[in-house]
Every structure is written in structure tokens, then in C-alpha cells.
């Protein structure tokens, strides 16, 4: 979730329970790709444990690190794993103590040079770093309109660039998976409330976004006559690199 070198992402703790309820998880095939045959996996920027739970479901030992204790409190209610408050630039683990590191929806918060160096330090030789993002599929017209609402008229990027991991890692290999998440209109409004730029903008901006999202969802988004839910399309981008 959040591994910042600044302070912005720590505000996610204000909406930790809502974040866990409405933010998407990760496709099982992508999670399996991220962890490979690793047994002990560090979820760096674990947040409320969306990715950690998926890794644990594969039977792997999970260690969770996040800078926001409130996020880890929510994680602990859902998953009993080793967990620490810490950042990507100063990981509170010994050298060569994990087989893989996964970073879900968080690499953009880190200072990449010291973060990559720290990840390399805690990885065992030959271990892997998997960086993954969920992004809304902006090729769908109504999703593109949603992005404009959330971005105050500025469209989000349609592609995610490969992370620069420095000389300690091989070039990251890219894997993309498309899927959909069924949601109610209320879910979509709540999802908007957990976006970092909405959280940081304050209550007035949040109320404006909520009204605009509800208006879009009830007037534009196609839905079945028998099912009130909408299908929010996602693309999950995963990048996997190996420690040299």
C-alpha cells in the first residue's frame, strides 16, 4: 500500500478499513508469478494486507512491512503474520532473510535508489523482487470518464513504466492480466474516497468527487436489468526481477 519517502501515503491510515473493503485484490495467477517458488516472502508496503493474504493463500510464509501502523492493525485482524512498521528505504529485517519481496500498489511512493538497495540487502542470493499495480482499464469509455472525474479533469496514465531497480537486479520482466471487479454504485463511490489525491484534498473535495462518481455510475455505466452491480475493468501489471 504505502512505502513513502514523503508523508502523503501515510494518510491512507485515515481510511484503512474502507480501503481494505473496496480496493481490489490481485489475480491469483499474477500472485503466483510474483512469488515463484519462494517460501518466505516480504510484502513491502503491505497496507491492510490485500497482497499478503493472496501470498499466504499459496502456503507461503509472509512478513509484512508498512510505515503506517493503522494499516497494519487492519492487516492483523485478517491475517496472523510477522509484521513491522518500516519503510522501503530502511527495511527492519536482517540481511538475506527472505526469498522474495513483493510490492503491491506502492513502488511509486518510494525513493527508488535506496529502496532497491535495501530490497537487495534483505533478499537471499537469487531472490526475486515483484512489483505489481492494479490500474483501471482506461480503454473502456466510462472508465476513462471516471478517471477524469477522479483526476479533476486530468486523465491518468494508460500504461505503467517498468521500475528502475538499478544494478543489483536483472531487467524486470513484464506480465499483464485483464479482469473485472463487480461493484455496487456505493462501492464505486467508496473506492473513489480511498484514492490518495482525494484523501489528501480534504472533505470538501471528497464530497464533490463522491457526487460526481455517483452521477456517472447511475447515468452512464452499463448494467444488467437484473443485476445492479457494475463490472469495473482492471489491468494488473507485474514486473519481476532477480537479485544478481
Fold of 8-137+157-180+234-242: Rossmann fold (3.40.50)
Domain boundaries, the chain: 8-137+157-180+234-242
pLDDT by position in tens, the chain (length 244): 444 444 444 556 667 899 899 999 999 999 999 999 999 999 999 999 999 999 999 999 999 999 999 999 999 999 999 999 999 999 999 999 999 999 999 999 999 999 999 999 999 999 999 999 999 999 999 999 999 998 877 777 666 789 999 999 999 999 999 999 999 999 999 999 988 778 777 788 889 999 999 999 999 998 877 888 999 999 999 999 999 9
Asked if residue 165 lies in contact with residue 193, where contact means CB atoms within 8 angstroms, the answer is no
Enter the pTM of the model: 0.88
Nearest alpha-carbon partner for 186 in 222, 229, 152: 229
Q: How far is CA 188 from the centre of its chain?
A: 17
Amino acid at each position: 500500500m504505502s512505502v513513502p519517502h514523503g508523508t502523503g501515503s501515510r494518510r491512507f491510515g485515515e481510511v484503512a478499513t474502507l480501503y481494505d473493503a473496496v480496493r481490489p485484490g490481485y489475480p491469483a495467477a499474477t500472485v503466483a508469478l510474483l512469488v515463484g517458488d519462494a517460501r518466505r516472502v516480504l510484502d513491502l508496503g503491505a497496507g491492510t494486507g490485500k497482497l499478503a493474504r493472496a501470498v499466504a493463500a499459496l502456503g507461503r510464509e509472509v512478513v509484512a512491512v508498512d510505515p503506517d501502523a493503522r494499516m497494519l492493525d487492519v492487516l492483523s485482524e485478517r491475517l496472523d503474520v510477522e509484521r513491522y512498521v518500516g519503510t522501503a528505504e530502511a527495511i527492519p529485517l536482517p540481511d538475506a532473510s527472505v526469498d522474495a519481496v513483493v510490492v503491491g500498489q506502492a513502488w511509486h511512493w518510494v525513493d527508488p535508489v535506496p529502496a532497491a538497495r535495501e530490497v537487495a540487502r534483505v533478499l537471499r542470493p537469487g531472490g526475486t523482487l515483484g512489483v505489481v499495480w492494479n490500474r483501471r482499464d482506461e480503454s473502456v469509455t466510462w472508465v476513462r470518464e471516471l478517471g477524469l472525474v477522479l483526476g479533476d479533469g486530468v486523465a491518468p496514465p494508460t500504461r505503467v513504466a517498468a521500475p528502475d531497480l538499478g544494478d543489483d537486479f536483472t531487467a524486470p520482466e513484464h506480465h499483464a492480466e485483464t479482469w473485472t471487479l463487480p461493484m455496487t454504485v456505493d462501492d464505486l463511490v467508496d473506492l473513489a474516497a480511498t484514492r490518495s489525491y482525494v484523501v489528501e484534498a480534504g472533505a470538501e473535495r471528497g464530497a464533490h468527487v463522491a457526487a460526481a462518481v455517483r452521477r456517472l455510475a447511475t447515468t452512464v455505466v452499463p448494467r444488467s436489468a437484473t443485476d445492479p452491480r457494475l463490472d469495473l475493468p482492471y489491468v494488473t501489471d507485474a514486473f519481476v526481477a532477480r537479485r544478481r
